[in-house]
Structure 1
Amino acid sequence: MKRYFIGNRYETTGDKRNIFDKLFLNTRWYFVYGYAKEVIKGRNLAVKNKFDLEIWVASSYKIVENIEKSGGKLFIEGLDNISKVDGPVVFVSNHMSTLETFVFPSIIVPIKEITFVVKESLVSMPIFGAIMRSRDPIVVSRKNSRQDLLNVINKGKEILAEGRSIVLFPEGTRQEQFDPEKFNSLGIKLAKEAGVPVIPVAIKTDFWGNGKLIKDIGPIRRKEPVCMSFGEPITITGNGKAEHKQVIEFITNKVNEFKNIKI
């Protein structure tokens, strides 16, 4: 499978903004067009059971290119940490926008096959739902927290035992500001139960904001860089409280560092 990101770090260099994006006079529509085009193409393949890992990765990278063509800049670090563990891991990340869900596959999947823990509404969406279902995700309803916990632990252990890794957003929903109080320890609990490490991920993806009327079609903020940092793998020992604190500290520190990155 092709790897689009080589080395430990990736940074957008130069001006890759497309002339057609400039013609749209700094609106979101060039980006939305490229994003929608890729999602519809993926959905058409998914309903035919043809949306495989290689296509998923290539589609994800098209979104990365679309970000850069829309005037966005990417800063990604810690890529070598993904391959430091032989076998599956639980990726535990803060959650800011839709963007990270689309970008992660092109970064991670060529090294480790993944699926996501997602809310029920994502797998039932008319267009994107088919793509998400094709990845055999862990689905939570948010109606019964105890049942959701059991679903994540039980299916998560099965997926990890098969050798696939899991991406989990403990905040549950998108948060424009990282709040440690809303960052639960579900990822730590799953990793402990399955006997696999956790890789913390810190992201800043407010380049693509959340919309007021349609949450998935928010504003494009070209002055906000897309930042992602993958931390060192963490092995869970004891009750996991120390590791949960370590993950929160990593994300907090990195999110603060991201604020100092200027375009």
Structure 2
Amino acid sequence: MFLPSVMFYAQAAAHIGSAAYQARRGRLTNARLVEGSHALRRSLEAVGVRFEVSGLEETDWSGGPYVFAANHMSALETQILPSILSQAAPCTFVVKSSLVGYPVFGPVLKAFDPIVVDRKDPKADLRQVLGEGGKRLASGKSVIVFPQAHRTEAFDRKGFNTIGVRLARAAGVPIVPIALQTTAWSEGRLLQDIGWIIPKRPVRFAIGKPIDIGADSRGAQEQVVSFIEGKLAAWSESEPKTA
């Protein structure tokens, strides 16, 4: 794990450093953000990480914007999803406030015009997401939300809240479920976002079809959760069994 990690982080530092430089000068456009995401994906592939992406080809993404609701495992998805979803670009994120304060990565994240929440007061966070998220969607930007409170490999439907469905319904746009498996980028012990890169673990993204919510928020939430659960279960069953 040591050599792939060192090689990747050396390349990632150069990519993110360059993006931060552009961000501080107001030159970091959405197109450049997406290209930076593609560059980080190529850097992961260069050290042996394999990507499996399904579902994109089944939808004409010109009908956006959308709310994308995904499970959350690692730092990888926040870095790579802009490239995965480039057909539905521009996209932004709902992020916790501590991330935008990072000295180098923070300015890059701010260039996405994210919806920033504190994760301290759920009611205040909901108002922020509905208000600011609604503005982003009205301007044509899709919004990526991770409805889990914390990153975790195990998926618990009870911990997957309805904030994505509520935003999509309030804004009158479809919600799209995303199931992902991204443990090839592991959690760090000292810094959460800097862990080992483990190429033997495949990275998987499955993009569902847009769901029109209408008046059935509960049914839409069930479709989102069931899609993610089903994909994660199928991936788990496909893994080679060890004695």
Would you call these one fold, judging by a TM-score over 0.5? yes
Which consecutive segments of 4 or more residues in structure 1 shift more than 2 A? 24-27, 80-85, 109-112
Number of equivalenced pairs:
239
CA displacement at 1:35 relative to structure 2: 1.5
Contact 2:69 / 2:178 at 8 angstroms: preserved in 1?
Answer: yes
Name the residue aligned to 2:178: 201
Residues in 2 aligned to 1:61 and 1:115: alpha-carbon distance in whole angstroms: 16
Q: Pairwise mapping of residues 1-263 of structure 1 onto structure 2 (< 5 A)?
A: 26=3, 28-81=5-58, 83-84=60-61, 86-259=63-236, 260=238
Tell me the CA shift for residue 181 of structure 1.
Answer: 1.4
Instruction: Say which SS state the counterpart of residue 92 (structure 2) adopts.
Output: strand
Deviation at 1:157, TM superposition (A): 1.0
On the 8 A contact 1:82/1:108 being kept in 2, the answer is no
In 1, the alpha carbon distance for the partners of 2:140 and 2:59 equals 14
Task: For residues 40-59 of structure 1, give each alpha carbon's deviation from its aligned partner in whole angstroms, at most 9, with x where no partner exists.
Answer: 11111100111111211111
Q: CA deviation at 1:86?
A: 1.0
Instruction: Provide the identity percentage.
Output: 36
8 Å contact kept, 1:84–1:233: no
Unaligned runs of 5+ in 2: none
Deviation at 1:173, TM superposition (A): 2.3
Query: C-alpha separation between the residues in 1 aligned to 2:67 and 2:184?
Result: 26
1:85 and 1:107 map into 2 onto residues whose CA distance is 15
Amino acid at match of 2:208: G
Task: Give the CA RMSD over aligned residues.
Answer: 1.6
* Cα distance in 2 between the residues matched to 1:42 and 1:25: 26
Shift of 1:144: 1.5
- Does the 8 Å contact 1:168/1:187 carry over to 2? yes
Give the Cα separation in 1 of the matches to 2:149 and 2:33: 23
Shift of 1:60: 0.6
CA distance in 1, matches of 2:7, 2:101: 26
CA distance change for structure 1 residues 174 and 82 in 2, over 3 Å: closer, same or farther? Answer: farther
Q: CA distance change for structure 1 residues 82 and 45 in 2, over 3 Å: closer, same or farther? A: farther
TM-score by length of 2: 0.94
Q: Give the TM-score taking structure 1 as reference length.
A: 0.87
